[in-house]
Structure 1
Amino acid sequence: MEKTRKPKNIFVEGAISPEKIAKSIANHAANHEIGGHSIFLGQVRADAKEGGKVTAIAYTAYEEMALQQAFEIREAVFEKYPLTCMHIYHSLGEVKVGEICLFVFTSSKHRKAAISACEELVERIKNELPIWGKELVSNDTSVWKENT
């Protein structure tokens, strides 16, 4: 019987906590078929902007569309790579400098599939999902962030 995947909510309100990341990793210890994990953590930087530094990013999204597109990306990546599992979490709301705003975690029998899949997921999330970040600057201004 083929496993049917359903859209999952990838959004977390505020920063993604170190505890959530640690628990997600620990939950995989019981799966003895996994030989490699790849993890990407996106962290908010204190970039210099005109008149100040970034202090936080306020994330917004067209949630319904983003969830559907994330589901389609997940399906395509699962089809392309022999993965055991995949997790995607992206922040909404305000995330302060130094906090985690994106957590992508892939697992497979062998490391190369996990690494390649994780890299592709991050690139596709950044380029295809309708998620926007407004950089909050120390001089009480804000700037819409451009993904690079």
Structure 2
Amino acid sequence: MKHIFTTGPVPPQLIADSIAAHSKQQNIGAHSIFLGQVRNDEVHGAQVTAIEYSAYEAMALEQMHQIREDVITRYQLTCMHVHHSLGMVKAGELCLFVFTSAPRRKAAIAACEEVVERIKATLPIWGKEIFDNASVQWKQNT
């Protein structure tokens, strides 16, 4: 079972290294990448400055393993990588990285979209929005 959690923001170098590591695989025709970034939304007159992520890690990893197996099989992926932040991530920083690779673009794109939607809908990961006025609220996934 692959570990998907990164403490703090997803580092851009991790993304670059993931892309570079696949350049020698000649059976890949397409990659699709989703990068989730913390927005500084305005809610009730206050600005989001960060999101603090927490998770039920054991359950999330188990569910992610099942999602991974389902999606790799359905879309005949060459590989898939997922990294999700835990802890504090400031507005403007990356909190989710999904990277799918396949022989064909349509499979890579569809698989990436499905993985993101399933992560948002089913994984026990929560975000607490931190506001510039020191208030906090639990984020609702949309």
AA matched with 2:75: Y
Q: Deviations over 1:101-124 (max 9, x none)?
A: 000000001101000000000000
The answer to whether the aligner puts 1:77 opposite 2:71 as a matched pair is: yes
Whichever residue aligns with residue 66 of structure 1, its letter is A
Indicate the SS of the match to 2:87. strand
Q: Equivalent residues in 2 for 1:5-16 (5 A)? A: 7-16=1-10
Task: Give 1:52 shift.
Answer: 1.3
Runs of 4+ in 1 over 6 A off after TM superposition: none
1:107 aligns with 2:87: no
* Structure 1 partner of 2:53: 59
Q: Deviations over 1:84-107 (max 9, x none)?
A: 000000000000000000000000
Offset of residue 50 of structure 1: 2.0
Give the match for residue 122 of structure 2.
128
Distance (whole Å) between structure 2 residues aligned to residue 107 and residue 141 of structure 1: 41
Superposition pairs of residues 10-49 of structure 1, within 5 angstroms: 10-49=4-43
Preserved contact between residue 45 and residue 98 of structure 1 (Cα < 8 Å) = yes
Amino acid of the structure 1 residue aligned with 2:54: T
Deviation at 1:51, TM superposition (A): 3.8
**Once the 2 structures are TM-superposed, how far is the Cα of residue 49 of structure 1 from its aligned partner?**
1.5
Amino acid at match of 1:142: V
TM-score, structure 2 normalization: 0.99
> Counterparts of 1:62 and 1:12 in 2: how far apart (Å)?
14
Letter in structure 1 aligned against 2:129: E
Runs (5+) with no aligned partner, structure 2 = none
Across the aligned residues of Structure 1 and Structure 2, the Cα RMSD in angstroms comes to 0.6
Output the CA distance in 1 between the equivalents of 2:122 and 2:9.
Answer: 21
1:141 partnered with 2:135: yes
Give deviations 1:51-110, integer Å, cap 9, x for gaps: 410000000000000000000000111111110000000000000000000000000011
CA distance in 1, matches of 2:138, 2:87: 14
Aligned length: 142
Structure 1 stretches lacking a partner, 5+ long? 1-6
Secondary structure class of the residue paired with 2:73: helix
Alpha-carbon distance between aligned partners in 1 of 2:30 and 2:19, rounded to the nearest angstrom: 11
